[in-house]
Each structure stands twice: as C-alpha cells, then as structure tokens.
C-alpha cells in the first residue's frame, strides 16, 4: 500500500481508538445493541422494546430505540469542482482525497461496506459498496487523478444519480467545498446525509491587490481590484452563504462539518462521525 494511504489508515485507526471503537458510521434506529434513546410508546412499536424500568418510574410506556446495528452502506460522495484546486500547500482537493480515504478506512474498520461516487456536472466514477481495501486504494487513486479545473457540481443531476444507485438506506458523506448553494433535501429524506465542507483560508479571506481573478468552476476571468472594502464585503458574503447553508442543513437534519486545509483533518473527521446522533 502506498505510504500516504498507510499513513491515513494509521491516523484513522488511531483516532478511532481515541474515540470509541467498533462503531458503525450510522445513526439509523433499528435492531441493535447500541442504545440510542427512550421514546414514548406508540401503537406501532414492538412491545418487546418497552423499557419497563422507565415505565415504572414515569408510569408512561416508553420504548428503547437502538441504533441499527446491521451493516449499512457508507457511500462517500466526492463532489469535484474547480474550487478544489485552491489552497497552498495542501489544496482542498488533497484534503478531500484524504477525507475520502480516511472515511473509507473508517468504514472498513467498522466492517461496513463502503462505496464512492465521483460527481461534478456528471458522474465521473462509481464504485459500489464493498469491503475491499483495494477499492479504497482505487478510489483514492481516482480522486487524485481527477481533474477539477473548469468543473462544478450539478446538484440537480447529482441527486437522481445517487438515488438511483442507492437501493438501501445508506449513510452518505458528501465531500466538497460547498461554495455554491446546494439543496440536498431530496437525499436527506431517505438517507443519512453528512456534509464535509472542505475549505481553504483563501476561500474566505482574499489577498489584497489587483488580480486576474479566475472562476475555478467556469474558467471565467475578470480583472478585479481587491481593496479593503471589497475584501470585507467578500468575507461577509461568504459568511452569509455559509450561514444559509447551515440553516438549510439544519432544516433537513443534515449534519455538517467544515474542515480547513490547514487543519488536522482526520481527527476532526472521526470526532465528527462519533458525535453523531
């Protein structure tokens, strides 16, 4: 195995150990051993799940809800866009690839089958969920070879592409820079959607001066002067965009995390997966 991937694997293992071991990257309620919460009894509930102790205490029927312990598919979605090229020395693309690999390993260690989907305007690659390590290596290689320049994510095409491939309820990890507005509501209805926003400082804080500014997504070029006021306004606009994004995610019950290129990514990622529920 490639040294870089081995490092990712080791880091993932370490962080998984630091957190709790043996968990799935899922939060589906269902049959399992992993107690999740108490919920008032409804007529649909199996009486086998009644929590008698709680009922005795509160004189109300309550049922135990367990996280689903069955193996579920973890699908990593690599949202390839031009913006991923941004970032020095580590680009957002590097970061996204690292996250992709780390997630793969984490799923593997949790013995969940994991697949990967690469998408920009159209589907670039699809590797169906499996528990093969080489699949992760292959995905990593593909992620690193994927050209990003001039590409942007077409969410309207992405969602049907995903939905048609995921027959079972799956855990989705969408990795992208999310610099465009995105509505993932249709996905979140059926699947557990997690969003990992990869960002570089440059996305939010522009340098000062005159630049020939290129839109990484479309390749459009404009000569712009970035003075103090412009930079301030840009910062505000990105912050507002992020706030809107966070608000839609909250409403769709989508969990999200922002990871910067200068941050220690894997620790943050694993903590994010553990914090679930």
Partner 1 sequence: MIHFAFPWAFALLPLYWFCERRCTPPRPSLSVANLEFLQRAAGRVGSRERWIRRLVVLLIVTALADPVVTRERTLHNARGYSVALLLDASFSMREGQRFATAKRVLADFIRRRPTDRMALEVFGDRARLAAPMSYDKQGLLTILHYLQSGAAGGRDTALYEALFSGAKLFAGEPRKNRLMILLTDGIDTVGNLPLSAALARVKKEGIRVYTIGVGDDFRRGVLERIARESGGKFYDASRPEALAKIYAAIDRQEKSPIETLRITRSRHYYRIPLGIAVLLLLLLLGLKIRQRQGIVPVALTLLLSLIALYGPSLSGRPITVQRSGGDLLVALDVSRSMEARDLYPDRFRFALHKFERLLTSLHRMRVGLLLFADRVWLVAPPTGDYAVLRKLAAGIDLRRLERGRSDWPALIEAASKLGDEGKVHPLLIFSDGEGIDDPQRLARQARKKRLRLYGYGTATQTGATIPDGEKLLRDGKGDVVVTRLDPAFAEAVRLSGGRFFGARNDDGDVRRLAREIEKEYGAAVGGEETLRQRTELFWVPLGLALLVFIFPWRRRRGVGSA
> According to the binding rule CB under 8 A, does residue 88 interact with partner 1?
yes
Contact region with partner 1 (CB under 8 A), list: 102-110, 127-135, 236-244, 255-263? 236-244
Contacts of 135 (CB under 8 A, 6+ apart): 104, 114, 115, 116, 127
> According to the binding rule CB under 8 A, does residue 96 interact with partner 1?
no
> According to the binding rule CB under 8 A, does residue 246 interact with partner 1?
no
Among 193, 12, 191, 201, residue whose Cα is nearest residue 99? 12
80 contacts 153 by C-beta, under 8 angstroms: yes
> According to the binding rule CB under 8 A, does residue 209 interact with partner 1?
yes
- The minimum distance between CB 206 and partner 1, in angstroms, equals 7
> According to the binding rule CB under 8 A, does residue 212 interact with partner 1?
yes
- 251 burial (CB, 10 Å; 0-12 / 13-18 / 19+) is exposed
- The minimum distance between CB 99 and partner 1, in angstroms, equals 17
Per CB under 8 A, the list member of 98, 120, 177, 192 interacting with partner 1 is 177
> According to the binding rule CB under 8 A, does residue 220 interact with partner 1?
yes
Tokens linked to 200: 């570089």
> According to the binding rule CB under 8 A, does residue 207 interact with partner 1?
yes
Helix axes 265-274, 3-18, angle to 10 degrees: 40
Among 174, 154, 180, 194, residue whose Cα is nearest residue 237? 180
The residue (of 72 and 206) whose beta carbon lies closer to partner 1 is 206
Token look-up 């839609």 returns 248
Per CB under 8 A, the list member of 94, 120, 140, 203 interacting with partner 1 is 203
> According to the binding rule CB under 8 A, does residue 205 interact with partner 1?
no
Beta partners for 64? 38
> According to the binding rule CB under 8 A, does residue 244 interact with partner 1?
no
> According to the binding rule CB under 8 A, does residue 230 interact with partner 1?
yes
> According to the binding rule CB under 8 A, does residue 89 interact with partner 1?
no
């Amino acid at each position: 195995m490639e040294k870089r991937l081995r490092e990712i694997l080791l880091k993932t293992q370490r962080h998984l150990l630091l957190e709790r071991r043996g968990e799935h990257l899922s939060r589906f309620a269902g049959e399992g051993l992993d107690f999740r919460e108490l919920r008032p009894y409804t007529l649909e509930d199996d009486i086998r799940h009644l929590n008698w102790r709680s009922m005795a205490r509160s004189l109300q029927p309550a049922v135990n809800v367990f996280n689903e312990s069955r193996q579920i598919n973890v699908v990593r979605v690599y949202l390839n866009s031009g913006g991923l090229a941004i970032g020095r020395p580590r680009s957002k693309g590097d970061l996204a690839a690292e996250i992709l690999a780390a997630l793969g390993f984490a799923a593997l260690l949790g013995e969940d089958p994991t697949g990967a989907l690469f998408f920009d305007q159209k589907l670039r690659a699809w590797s169906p969920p499996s528990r093969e390590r080489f699949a992760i290596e292959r995905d990593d290689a593909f992620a690193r070879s994927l050209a990003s320049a001039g590409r942007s994510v077409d969410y309207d095409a992405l969602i049907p592409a995903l939905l048609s491939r995921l027959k079972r309820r799956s855990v989705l990890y969408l990795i992208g820079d999310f610099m465009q507005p995105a509505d993932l509501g249709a996905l979140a209805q059926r699947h557990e959607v997690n969003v990992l926003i990869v960002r570089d400082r440059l996305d939010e804080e522009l340098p000062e001066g005159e630049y020939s500014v290129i839109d990484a997504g479309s390749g459009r070029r404009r000569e712009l002067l970035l003075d103090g006021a412009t930079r301030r306004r840009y910062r505000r606009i990105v912050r507002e965009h992020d706030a809107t994004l966070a608000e839609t995610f909250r409403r769709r019950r989508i969990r999200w995390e922002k990871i910067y290129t200068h941050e220690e990514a894997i620790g943050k990622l694993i903590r994010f997966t553990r914090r679930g529920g």
